[in-house]
Amino acid sequence: MPDEAGHKRQRVSKACDSCRRKKVKVGAFSLKDLNIFGYIEAIETRLHRMESLLGGLVHSNDPFAEAVLAELMQDDPRPSRKSGNTEFTWRNGSISMYGDTGSSGLQSPENVQAKDNSIIDDLNDIMGILSIDENKQVRYHGRSSGLYLLKNSERYKNGILSLSDNSPEETLISTQNLESLKRPELTILPSQEISEHLLETYFTHIHPLLPIIYKPIFFNRLKDRDNPPLLLLNAIYALAARFSDRPELRKNLQDSQTAGDEFFDRAKALLDNDYDKSHITTIQALIIMALRDIRIDNTTRGWIYIGMAARMAQDLGIHRNNEKWQPISLSHAEKEEQKRAFWSCFVIDR
């Protein structure tokens, strides 16, 4: 009894949340040791992921992928980094790297992780595939879509998969204009004086805060009298009218809260016939419509609109680096337009 009374029970430290979920018993090992083991396991998982991605490159016949793979196999030419002999071996379609590396060649975990993230992003861009849908719009598909398996199909030409039976040279009338043939009231636009006033209001009060639109391309589209961006124009008018004190822009002349409602109703009618076809102007219109709803405290509908815009942005692939889209030659203005649309989605969705 004296011995038992003098013996103190060992106090066991409380396990962290990760250990408790894994039901790991914390005994002789300290919490710090367990965290180190978990970090090593995470590194090994990341290494296996990299090996599987590089293994996929081995079996692909894409010339661009082969060029990137050859670049990865070259030694770093920077003199400040001293590395030993590194060998690459291929096993069951995967790539393994081993060799002796001097202590001077070690990098911090932050630098290694940043470099790995960059390589994985590059590989994801390479393994993605572009397609042209029935509306002649370029769409982006990641590797998980499985469309890369159709690269031997007759529809896959010049790096692009055609999902339509029609030839790309055929001229298509926009969905908005087709619908306007049935509903002429959707084509009604304000007078030139009102239009210039609303556009000036938009680019004065709204555009500096969130440059959704790239002005050179936008004004070039306005020059096309036969096919103007009706949805985008009505969205701009609807939001800009909220910043104007002109009574003729109100649905109810006595109520300033109805400013721009007529334009917004028209934009919603056009959107009903255009939301299932991804287009950059539709994304821009959805962002502007979301801003208007947020301004009038209709946050639920605004959140839905910005979600639709984000999905369309992903469908068009503007969330990826378009510098690697070899088959598609985009001008600087088109790249800038895509960047502004995507980051506007990101900012509002945050």
* Tally of domains within the chain: 3
Question: Does some domain include residue 32?
Answer: yes
pLDDT above 70 (res 218): yes
pTM above 0.85, yes or no: no
- Which residue, 116, 138, 162, sits at the end of a domain? 162
Q: Strand 138-141 and strand 86-91: pairing?
A: unpaired
- Which residue, 162, 186, 212, sits at the end of a domain? 162
Structural domain range at position 149:
130-162
Residue 162: strand pairing partners: 132
* Same domain (yes/no): 224, 247: yes
* Same domain (yes/no): 147, 180: no
Length of the chain (residues) = 350
The pLDDT score that the predictor gives to residue 122 is 53
Q: What is the DSSP string of 326-341?
A: SSS---HHHHHHHHHH
* Same domain (yes/no): 21, 66: yes
Question: Does some domain include residue 53?
Answer: yes
* Same domain (yes/no): 154, 241: no
* Same domain (yes/no): 217, 296: yes
Q: Tell me the pLDDT tens digit for each residue of 12-60.
A: 666 667 777 777 666 555 544 555 556 677 888 888 888 777 777 666 6
* Same domain (yes/no): 222, 283: yes
Residue 309: strand pairing partners: none
Question: Does some domain include residue 235?
Answer: yes
* Same domain (yes/no): 249, 301: yes
Q: What is the DSSP string of 16-70?
A: PHHHHHHT---SSS-HHHHHHHHHHHHHHHHHHHHHHHHHHHHT---HHHHHHHH
Question: Does some domain include residue 282?
Answer: yes
pLDDT above 50 (res 311): yes
* Same domain (yes/no): 306, 228: yes
* Same domain (yes/no): 110, 249: no
* Same domain (yes/no): 234, 206: yes
* Same domain (yes/no): 270, 141: no
Question: Does some domain include residue 295?
Answer: yes
pLDDT above 60 (res 325): no
Higher pLDDT pick, 95 / 350: 350
Question: Does some domain include residue 232?
Answer: yes
Q: Tell me the pLDDT tens digit for each residue of 138-195.
A: 555 555 544 444 455 555 554 444 545 544 333 334 444 545 446 777 888 899 999 9
* Same domain (yes/no): 326, 184: yes
The pLDDT score that the predictor gives to residue 119 is 54
Question: Does some domain include residue 266?
Answer: yes
Joined together, the tokens standing for residue 228 give 């103007």
Q: Tell me the pLDDT tens digit for each residue of 327-336.
A: 566 788 988 9
Question: Does some domain include residue 79?
Answer: no
The mean of the pLDDT values for the chain is 72
